[in-house]
Amino acid sequence: MFSWFGKVSYCAHTKVAAFADWLKTGRIAASRCSGCGLVSFPPRADCPRCLSGEFGWVEVSGRGTVVTWTRIDAAPAGFEDDAPYTIGVVDLEEGGRLLAWFGASIPDDQRRVGMAVQVVPRLFEEIPEIKVHYTLEQPGTMWFKEPAPAAAEGLR
Amino acid sequence: MSGHGMDLDLGGKVALVTGGDRGIGAAIALGLARCGCDVASVDRGPRAEAEAAAGRIRATGRRAMAIEADVADFAAAERAVAAVVAEFGRLDILVCNAGITRDAVVWKMTERQWDEVINVNLKGCFTYNRAAAQIFMERRSGKIVNIASINGLRGKFAQANYAASKGGIIALTKSLAKELGKFNVNVNGVAPGMVMTEMARTLGPEFLDAAVEETVLGRLATVDEVANVVVFLCSELSRHVTGEIIKVDGGQYI
Amino acid sequence: MARVAVVGIGHGRFGQRSDATVQELAFEAWREALQDAGLAPDAIDASVVGSVPEYHKQRSLAGVVQEYLGLNPKPTWLTEAACASGSAAIRTAWMAIQAGLHDVVAVIGCQKMTELSTGEILALMGRVGEVQWESGFGTTFPGYYAMFARRHMHEFGTTREQLAQVAVKNHYYGARNPRALFRKEITVEKALASDPVASPFHVYDCCANADGAACVILASERRAREMGRAGVWLDGIGCASASMSVLRRPDLTGLPSAVDAARQAYAMAGASARDIKVAEVHDCFTIAEIMAYEDLGFCEKGRGGAFIEARQSYIGGTTPVNVDGGLKAKGHPIGATGVSMACEIVRQLRGQSGERQVPGADLGLTHNVGGIGQYCFVHVYRRD
């Protein structure tokens, strides 16, 4: 369910909702157009190149480079207890770009534009609801993947 | 457990059973082993008995481990779980079965009788659930079965301590089911009625008869009948069951 | 192509206007613009209202404003492009006049930012960016521009001191603008020492929300000459969009929509960057003004920090920018800002800016950005 994605969700419904299901299993998934093969991250249902609305999923490694970042002290609604937190924008190795929080393995004084990071799928652990996100960690950080959902088409 | 055509998918799994040296715990350990699990037991009884139980596990072709510890010992629980993972490479199943009774009406119950039962039964459940939870969370997979009792549901004369501990296990089980569900960990409880164990045989016949009369099936449970339900809850057959307490009491308390 | 004239301007006081409704604020600017133009209300053929609805309790803003201004049954509607709503409304009016549909159109930029509770504002704050992939991580408006700033600092060596100098300049001129929210000068030290907001930004890198309204009255060339009010023309208009999401902006050190819009406006007006004598740019954050110097061609790419450091955007420099205080000192009633910019440029071209007058100002520019650059409108005004 896409409402699982992010600390606060403003987007409950989307054609690419399975992204959140994949993320819960520990996989970062890009969309691949069934018409022309264009791979997009963030995923999108509608191909900007060939206009097809058919798409599948392909897993990406999560390796990337930090483009820019900021530490937010003045937080919006829903994030007051988290401040300060640091968000970074990352160019992914396979293409596309992602925005996420910096994780515990990269402390304040080590954050640099241009540094290599590993995007790691995460669950918010200490709340009752299922909520998923990802964090930027040191390259080489490992994590556990669940078995892919039985009903899934499978990542190609 | 074989021959019914459905796959328990327990082959190659590793289980830790507290109180697995005798009684219901031994039956649970053996039941899991017969379905393909390697089993470690934690208990504080005579080592000869613990080794004999381990021997029965090994006779099924599975690996076994016998750890001596007081289940209420928080640090020992962490060490025991770590030792199982170090020895077997993984941990998939936890069954918290260790339990004692120290019966007395409340106005005569001593502080020590209360503390001992709460510590072994309830705290001993907390310590192992906590230690195993961390492993299961990281692996995004796990099964926990906590052994409660119908007396935790209905109360029992002269068992304020025992009933409280078993009622507490039920509430703990449900809480953990809520906390660990997102990590694909099933947490359930089994609430036996009176079970025909070596310990039960030492009670007078009038106690056993009274229990039989409470049942609708007209008999007491065997340890295997309780173990079967535990094995079910450890298997893939029950993967959509969590936060549930299954009574195995022949209808003693409906 | 026939030209479009600006025949009247009006500007209300920006600030925390808990004394007035949005339509009452609109009337302050409207009254002044009518007087400035020497027009009676029935001379107006239509109005376009620039405002961002989600900050108001009142729905159908254009409807309530039109009624209060006494303009029923003339046509009206709302134009919204986030913080560029005011310029979007000006562009819309320009198009209506050029189409020959109307001769005289009033553009009212009006906004209340302070009607909402703190909780409602905090909730809106978190929805500035693309909500699907970004807002779930707590992005904020300052956060986005802070990320642009960090990239700019990384690529070009821009410093926090240079950012602070933008704020210092704008507060200097705001102190000399009776309609600005903030009327006190500040120092670089004070700016650097202020509380952190989103690194590298501190409080003085960020504009403040405000309530307020401004109004310009546009007329066709023919009608302007009939009225004897020809003289200041909206000769160049440019508009462009860019991706809403920072995840699809190849370059985070400038706003591609501003570059595109400026190119169009310069071409239409037959002018270049160095012809611009005075400019109003969208300094929602200090880095935004530095990027604007570069995007608009007032200096080379990456040299915006040096530009402010050399005081080139002060009166007396190569291109005076935001000499009315900018968003930084005026405050930013988002629907009104674009129209406020137009008022200042027109005043400058008429020679009416008093101690803040740029000598010989005959070509002026407004640069109005919506959000984090998904919209940009650049207008070039000329005095004959």
Q: What is the mean pLDDT of chain B?
A: 95
Count the Cβ atoms, other than its own, within 10 Å of residue B241.
14
CB within 8 Å: A146 and B137: no
| Residue A90 C-alpha, separation from nearest chain C C-alpha, in angstroms | 8
User: d(Cα A36, Cα A22) in Å, to the nearest integer?
Assistant: 23
CB contact under 8 A, B182 and A130: yes
Tell me the mean pLDDT in the region B93-119: 97
Of the candidates C95, C92, C130, C89, the residue with the CA atom closest to the CA atom of residue C111: C89
Is the pLDDT score of B3 beyond 80?
Answer: no
What sign results for the dihedral spanned by CA atoms B96, B101, B104, B108? negative
Q: Where are the domains of chain B?
A: 14-248
Identify the domain containing residue A33 by its residue range. Answer: 2-137
Say if the Cβ atoms of B140 and A125 lie within 8 Å: no
Q: What is the pLDDT, as a whole number, of residue C262?
A: 98
Domain assignment present for C170: no
pLDDT, average across residues C31-42: 97
Average pLDDT over residues C8-19: 95
> What is the amino acid identity at position B78?
E
B158-185 exposure pattern, b = at least 16 Cβ within 10 A, e = fewer: ebbbbbbbbbbbbebbbebbebbebbbb
C247 at interface of A, judged by CB pairs closer than 8 A:
yes
Comparing alpha-carbon positions, the chain C residue that sits nearest to A99 is C134
**Can you give the pLDDT at residue C146?**
98
**Yes or no, beta carbons of A128 and B137 under 8 Å apart:** no
Q: Which of the pair, B8 or C56, is modelled with greater confidence?
A: C56
Asked if the C-beta of C178 comes within 8 angstroms of chain A's C-beta atoms, the answer is: no
What is the rounded CA–CA span in Å between residue C29 and residue C36?
10
Q: Is residue C337 in a domain?
A: yes
Interface test with A, best of C133, C245, C248, C291 (most A CBs within 10 A): C133
> What average pLDDT does range C148-171 have in this prediction?
98
Are A144 and B183 in contact (CB < 8 Å)?
no
Q: Do A146 and B184 touch (CB under 8 A)?
A: yes
Give C147's strand partners: none
Distance of alpha carbon C62 from alpha carbon C65, whole angstroms: 5
- What is the pLDDT at residue B2? 52
**Residues written for chain A:** 156
Residues in Cβ contact with C100 at an 8 Å cutoff, skipping those fewer than 6 apart: C220
CB proximity list for A154: less than 8 A, separation 6 or greater: A148
Number of domains within chain C: 1
What does the alpha-carbon distance between residue C349 and residue C231 come to, in Å, rounded to a whole number?
A: 9
Q: Is residue A84's pLDDT more than 80?
A: yes
Contact A144 B184 (CB under 8 A): no
Mutate to test the interface with A, among B9, B139, B140, B175 (most CBs of A within 10 A): B140
Among C11, C83, C110, C206, the active-site one is: C83
Q: Is the pLDDT of residue C182 over 60?
A: yes
pLDDT digits (tens, 9 = 90+) for A120-132: 999 999 999 999 9
Residue B9 in this model has a pLDDT that exceeds 90: no
Q: Is any Cβ of chain A less than 8 angstroms from the Cβ of C250?
A: no
Q: Which residue has the higher pLDDT, A116 or C125?
A: A116
What does the alpha-carbon distance between residue C131 and residue B183 come to, in Å, rounded to a whole number?
Answer: 27
b/e sequence C202-219, b meaning 16+ C-beta within 10 Å = bbbbbbbbbbbbbbbbbb
Catalytic residue among B126, B128, B136, B162: B162
Substitution target in C132, C134, C209, C245 with the highest count of A β-carbons within 10 Å is C132
CATH number at residue C106: 3.40.47.10
Residues of A in contact with B140 (CB under 8 A): 26, 144-146
Q: In this predicted structure, what is the pLDDT of residue A152? A: 53
Per DSSP, B108 falls in state T
Number of domains comprising chain A? 1
Instruction: Please determine, for residue C325, whether its predicted confidence score (pLDDT) is greater than 60.
Output: yes
Q: Which of B54, B161, B153 is nearest to B101 (CA)?
A: B161
Q: What is the pLDDT of residue B204?
A: 84
Q: Nearest CA of chain B to the CA of A107: how many Å?
A: 22
Q: What angle do CA A70, A73, A77 make, to 5 degrees?
A: 110
Average pLDDT over chain C reads 96
Check: CB of residue C111 under 8 Å from CB of residue C89: no
Averaged pLDDT, B42-49: 96
Contact of B3 with B21, CB cutoff 8 Å? no
Containing C63, the helix (H) or strand (E) segment is helix C61-69
> Do β-strands C104-111 and C212-220 pair in parallel, antiparallel, or remain unpaired?
antiparallel
pTM score:
0.91
Among C289, C233, C223, C290, smallest CA distance to C265 is for C233
Output the CATH code of domain B14-248.
3.40.50.720
Contact A5/A19 with Cβ under 8 angstroms?
A: yes
Query: Is pLDDT at A155 greater than 60 in this prediction?
Result: no
Inform me whether the pLDDT recorded for B122 exceeds 70: yes
Q: Can you give the CATH number for the domain in which A94 is found? A: 2.40.50.840
Residue for token pair 């068992």: B159
What's the CA gap between A1 and A24, in Å, rounded?
Answer: 10
- Rounded to whole angstroms, the Cα distance separating C213 from C255 reads 26
Question: What sign has the CA pseudo-torsion C36, C37, C43, C47?
Answer: negative
Does residue A33 fall inside a structural domain?
yes
Please report the number of interchain residue pairs, chain A to chain B, with beta-carbon separation below 8 angstroms.
14
Largest CA distance in chain C: 57
Which chain A residues contact residue B138 at CB under 8 A?
144
* Residue among C168, C183, C150, C106 at smallest CA distance from C291: C150
The pLDDT value given to residue B70: 97
Q: Do B183 and A128 touch (CB under 8 A)?
A: no
Q: Does the pLDDT value for residue C125 go beyond 90?
A: no
Integer angstrom CA distances of residue B23 from A72, B43, B103 = 59, 12, 19
User: Region C94-110: what's the mean pLDDT?
Assistant: 98
Position A86 pLDDT exceeds 50: yes
Chains that touch A (3 or more CB pairs under 8 A): B, C
Q: Which of C11, C282, C332, C367 is catalytic?
A: C332
* Cα C50 to Cα C337: distance, rounded to the nearest angstrom: 9
Query: Mean pLDDT, to the nearest integer, of A51-59?
Result: 96
Partner residue opposite A144 with nearest CB, options B140, B178, B179: B140
pLDDT-above-70 percentage for chain B: 98
Give percent of chain B above pLDDT 90.
Answer: 92
Q: A10: which chain C residues are within 8 Å (Cβ-Cβ)?
A: 126-127, 131-132, 135-136
Structure tokens at A131: 């909520």
Query: What pLDDT score does C122 carry?
Result: 81
Residue written as tokens 């029965």?
Answer: B56
Say yes or no for a CB contact (<8 Å) between A125 and B137: yes
CA distance B25 to B227: 8
CB contact under 8 A, C146 and A78: no
Split at pLDDT 50, 70, 90, the class of B203 is confident
User: Residue A151 pLDDT more than 60?
Assistant: no
In chain A, what's the furthest Cα-to-Cα distance?
A: 45
ipTM: 0.92
| C332 assigned to active site | yes
CB A124 within 8 A of CB A132: yes
Q: How confident is the model at residue A156 (pLDDT cuts 50, 70, 90)?
A: very low
* Shortest Cα–Cα distance, A144 to chain B (Å): 6
Asked if C127 reaches chain A (Cβ–Cβ under 8 Å), the answer is: yes
Q: Establish whether C284 is a catalytic residue.
A: no
Touch between chain A and chain B: 3 or more Cβ pairs under 8 Å: yes
d(CA B174, CA B189): 9
Helix ranges (H only) for chain B are 23-34, 47-59, 74-88, 111-117, 124-139, 150-154, 160-180, 198-201, 205-214, 223-234
Structural domain including C337 reads 4-116+208-383
What are the backbone dihedrals phi and psi of residue B74, each rounded to the nearest 5 degrees, phi first?
Answer: -60, -50
In a domain? residue C143: no
Q: Which helix (H) or strand (E) holds B65?
A: strand B64-68
Compute the nearest-CA separation of A82 from chain C (Å): 9
> Domain for residue A15, yes or no?
yes
Q: How far apart are CA C284 and CA C368, in angstroms?
A: 10
d(CA B207, CA B249): 15
